[in-house]
Amino acid sequence: MPRYTLIGTELSLFTGKIKTYLQWKGVPFEVLLPSDEVYRNVVIPGAGIAMIPVLLIHDDNAGYSLTSAKVLQDTKEIMDYFETLHPPGSNDSQLLPTPMHHPILPPTPTRAFAARLLELLADEWLVTQAMYWRWHPPHLSRQDKFLAAEFGNSSTGGLAPFQAQQTLGAKRMARFAGFTPGLGVSETTSPALEWQFHELLRLMERHFDSFPFLLGNEISLADFAFWGCFGPHLGRDPVPSFLIKTEAPGVWEWIERVNGGHRWAGREVRAQDGDRRAYGMGKPHSQEVLHDTVPESTCRVLRFLLRDYAPVLAATVSRTVQYIDRKGGSEVSLPRSLGEQGFQLTHADGKVGGTRRVQTHAVWELDRIITRSMETDDQRLYLLEWVRSECGEEVAGVLKEAISAWTGSGRRVRRDRATLIAVAEGSIGSKL
């Protein structure tokens, strides 16, 4: 049986995403803190980039050698690996007992597509909120002591004196505090980001009043992706977590449910009336979710987030296709960023503008959605019609533009360690 080491910290949103998944999946693993030495000797040689989380897969015969282990770096590839290795329902003795006995991706097309869209939004759009509430100077000044202690603790495992942890944590914080301008955070966009956070909490609170998880009554890929932003960042840092607890206690309950539900496998609670149910796995007034439907309250969250992100995605695809055309050739390596582009954020009083980096990682995520949910014209038309009916003509039109531009490029994205490669595979389907 392979053994696993997860390199990451409790403060990393993508580490949080994969950690909760592994726990709900029942995968036994140990955590290795990413010290400078671990980055230098394990992460960079194995993954090709100084990014976490990193999963090390140890061969039984090689013990826990860090340098000989197989390395997976991206959360999506790690989840793909375990969903293939341990398909649900196989009664796999290698896994620990958990309440999740189903695939993380719903088996029906609309729900699977919605889960993938929510993952894209969490990874590429909600990350701005996570970073804004942690690093934007007015918020950072109110929680910097807490963050320094947390960063120091995550770097040392609590094995250094507290003052030394804070000193080390402050140095590590300096590496991240400068990320926010590239995500579009500025004094101009700050009011819109704050307004959007309160609106998002309102929409999520309404949803979690009726359902325990984002797609209904079962945990899914969407929950793990969203929890990555809410668990280690928005629900942990003092400033945003106060807002969540005071404005949206149902969202806080969901954060706790995703983080801790795996610990209650097989345990039940009994109400005074004798009703018994699995701890934290449902709500007494949960609505039934039909075969391939997405709750209306989830669609409101999708509509709200896609309204501003769909144009960003379309512009990112356009810039990426232009770059590929300039380079030419059957395989084009994509840089992580292709300069900056303008974007707009909805505010209570209209729109505000800003600039942000063009992140090619989003094109890889879109490519995965197309190849796994929209391989045929009929599938694309069906799902885009669903987007139109749930999110409106404008959002559906911009998303259609992004998908058409990418399928029309005749490319697929291959990930080679940390490098994204746009590979020519001929024309893919007809133009939408």
Using one digit for the tens of pLDDT, what is the confidence trace for 343-386? 999 999 899 999 999 999 999 999 999 999 998 999 999 999 99
Q: Mean pLDDT, to the nearest integer, of 276-281?
A: 57
- Please give the Cα distance from 318 to 194 (Å, whole number): 29
- pLDDT, tens digit (0-9, with 9 covering 90-100), for 413-422: 999 988 999 9
Do 188 and 57 share a structural domain? no
* Of residues 271 and 257, more confidently modeled: 257
- pLDDT, tens digit (0-9, with 9 covering 90-100), for 148-179: 988 887 777 667 777 888 888 888 887 777 88
Say how many C-beta atoms besides its own lie within 10 A of residue 112's C-beta: 21
Output the CA–CA distances (angstroms, integers) from residue 215 to 121, 254, 375, in the order listed: 15, 12, 23
Is position 92 within any domain? no
Instruction: Give me the domain span that covers residue 43.
Output: 3-85
Is position 251 within any domain? yes
Do 80 and 120 share a structural domain? no
Whether the pLDDT of residue 268 is over 70: the answer is no
* Of residues 9 and 199, more confidently modeled: 199
- pLDDT, tens digit (0-9, with 9 covering 90-100), for 232-266: 999 999 999 999 999 999 999 999 999 986 555 44
- Please give the Cα distance from 176 to 135 (Å, whole number): 8
Do 115 and 48 share a structural domain? no
Task: Please say whether the beta carbons of 30 and 241 come within 8 A.
Answer: no
Whether the pLDDT of residue 31 is over 60: the answer is yes
The CATH number assigned to the domain holding 14 equals: 3.40.30.10
Structural domain count, the chain: 3
- Which of these three, 50, 85, 120, is where a domain ends? 85
* Sign of the torsion angle spanned by Cα atoms 421, 222, 146, 35: negative
Do 199 and 130 share a structural domain? yes
Is position 149 within any domain? yes
Is position 385 within any domain? yes
Q: Label residue 34 by pLDDT band (50, 70, 90).
A: confident
Do 156 and 41 share a structural domain? no
- pLDDT, tens digit (0-9, with 9 covering 90-100), for 119-146: 999 999 999 999 999 999 999 999 999 9
- pLDDT, tens digit (0-9, with 9 covering 90-100), for 171-216: 888 777 788 999 999 999 999 999 999 999 999 999 999 999 999 9
- For 309, residues 6+ apart whose C-beta sits below 8 A from its C-beta are 121, 124, 125
pTM over 0.85: yes
- Please give the Cα distance from 17 to 23 (Å, whole number): 10
Whether the pLDDT of residue 428 is over 50: the answer is no
- pLDDT, tens digit (0-9, with 9 covering 90-100), for 69-89: 889 999 999 999 999 998 887
Q: Label residue 11 by pLDDT band (50, 70, 90).
A: confident
